[in-house]
Structure 1
């Protein structure tokens, strides 16, 4: 009977030793995971810490570019209008001077 108690106690001790070893391994894994997550959090914090400021600066830059683009669009439209006026003036000039050139040539020889 004493041998049976010793065997059961030994078996329970071995099972508890195995459980303790597994708990120790789990503790090691959790410590490793905790360290990795802390490092990831630190990196993400460093990367995202200035994100709002960078977003604001980007918005300002976009606004400035849009303002400059609007000014340039107006200038392009003005240049197009000037070119259109010059072409119209050239057409009128050519029509007027063609008529002047053609008018003296139309004189009749009999007069």
Structure 2
């Protein structure tokens, strides 16, 4: 009977030793994961530390660019109108010159 109790105690001790060894290995694994996550957090923090200022600066740049574009829009429309008139004048001039050249005497043509 004493042998059975000693054997059971020995088995229980082995199970507890195995569980302690597994817990110790889990602790090592969790320590490595924690170190990796901490390094990733430090890297991400260093990388994104200036992001709010950069975003604000970019937004201000876009705002100023939109204002400049709105100021240039009427000038662009005027320029397009002028170019349209020049194009129309060229077409009228070409038609006029063709019309006049077709009305000339065949002897005066070159």
TM-score under structure 2 length normalisation = 0.70
- Counterpart position of 2:51: 51
- Structure 2: segments with no counterpart, 5+ residues: 92-110
- Counterpart position of 2:33: 33
- Counterpart position of 2:74: 74
Give the C-alpha shift of residue 83 in structure 1. 3.9
- Structure 1: segments with no counterpart, 5+ residues: 92-111
- Counterpart position of 1:65: 65
Aligned length: 96
- Counterpart position of 1:96: none
Give the C-alpha shift of residue 81 in structure 1. 3.5
Return the structure number with greater relative CO, CA threshold 8 A, min gap 6. Answer: 2
Pair 90,37 (structure 1): closer, same or farther in 2 beyond 3 Å: closer
Specify the structure having the higher radius of gyration (Cα). Answer: 1
Q: For the aligned residues, what is the CA RMSD?
A: 2.7
**Structure 1 segments of 4+ aligned residues over 6 angstroms from their partners:** 87-91
